[in-house]
Amino acid sequence: MSYNHLLVSRAKHSENTEIKLGHTVIGGKQPAMIAGPCSVESYEQLRSVAALLKKNGVSVLRGGAFKPRTSPYDFQGLGIEGLKLLKEVADEFGLITISEIVDPAHLELAGDYIDVIQIGARNMHNFELLKAAGRLRTPILLKRGLSATLDEFLHAAEYIVYGGNTQVMLIERGIRTYERATRNTLDISAVPLLKLETHLPVLVDVTHSTGRKEIMAPCAKAALAAGADGVMVEVHPNPAAALSDSAQQLDFEQFETFYGEVKRSGLLSPALDSNQEALRL
């Protein structure tokens, strides 16, 4: 399949799109680590995660305020209150924030509180939401749909860019297959394929793709080795008591072990350009 006619294609724009978020650049030389709780639950919970990230040099905090849950009886998120908590804590610690928005009516308002708007897997095919996101200038983190092909994923991104918002990042979060050993199947091949086809940054969510804490570090390393521009992972002060995804969020100690292992691989270091490579030889 040729994507040459798409605005998101490398054929149209050979340089990588770099998304500047304060001092952090996504899609630049250095891959990013994005971490935070599945859901924003309280000021204390979010503040403790922010302090952990700050201590470890992680500058991007994620946290859901509008949660697309399978059951209507499950915690649905704090809504706008959650976005306000993200802003309060981010201002205190100097962090960049990402949170999911599910309703086009909340998109404009969200830009007052958070730095990056996530469009979740369940909404990757919500074309009215994609069109509305295209009218914004706030960066968008677009998740791959639960069973979306790469073709559908790229076209979903195209909706946003076609609307005028060029600040789009893609994130592979696992797809639904027959395999039950993991929550979803992490499609590592999506990373180099997307990097070939598009100039947009490509990230990998190791939490929702694997659902298995014990393999998140090797999967993060695999993602980075395959060329990912960053990794997302969920962390919570007390995962057993979390209001969503309690089985798969890392506690603080597990996060530090995870992050330490990924850092030690060297894969999070800035890429050398060809001159630096030559000097090193």
H helix intervals, the chain: 43-55, 80-93, 107-110, 127-134, 150-162, 190-197, 206-210, 216-225, 252-264, 274-280
- Is the Cβ of residue 17 or residue 118 nearer to ligand PEP in the bound state? 118
Site string for ligand PEP, 3-42 (x = CB under 6 A): -----------------------------------x----
**Residue 143 interacting partner from Mn ion, ligand PEP, none (CB closer than 5 to 8 Å by kind):** ligand PEP
Cβ 269 to ligand PEP shortest distance, Å = 26
Write the binding mask 85 to 104 for ligand PEP: x where contact by CB under 6 A, - elsewhere: ---------------x----
Q: How far is the CB of 132 from Mn ion (least distance, A)?
A: 23
Q: How many CB atoms lie within 10 A of CB 169?
A: 26
Contacts for 113 with CB less than 8 Å, ≥ 6 apart: 80, 83, 84, 86, 87, 97, 99
**Shortest separation between residue 64's beta carbon and ligand PEP, angstroms:** 4
Partner in contact with 120, chosen from Mn ion, ligand PEP, none, beta carbon below 5 to 8 Å by kind: ligand PEP
DSSP-derived 3-state class of residue 224: helix
Helix axis angle for 43-55 and 252-264, nearest 10°, is: 30
Looking at the chain, the number of H-run helices and the number of E-run strands are 10, 10
Is the CB of 68 or the CB of 164 nearer to ligand PEP?
Answer: 68
Please report which residue ranges of 112-250 form alpha helices under DSSP H: 127-134, 150-162, 190-197, 206-210, 216-225
Closest by CA to 215, choosing from 264, 262, 146, 267, is: 262
- In the list 121, 161, 200, 206, the residue contacting ligand PEP (rule: CB under 6 A) is 121
Q: How far is the CB of 122 from Mn ion (least distance, A)?
A: 12
Measured from the CB atom, the residue of 34 and 38 that comes closer to Mn ion is: 38
> Quick one: which H or E segment has residue 106?
none
Size of the site for ligand PEP (CB under 6 A): 10
Q: Which of Mn ion, ligand PEP, none interacts with 173 (beta carbon under 5 to 8 A by kind)? A: ligand PEP
Number of Cα atoms under 13 Å in the Cβ half of residue 184: 21
Coil, helix or strand at residue 190: helix
Please, which residue, 38 or 96, has the CB nearer to ligand PEP? 38
State in angstroms the smallest separation of the CB of 114 from ligand PEP.
Answer: 13
CA contacts within 13 A on the Cβ side of 44:
2
Contact characters 36-75, ligand PEP, x per CB under 6 A:
--x-------------------------x---x-------
Shortest spacing between CB 233 and ligand PEP, in angstroms: 10
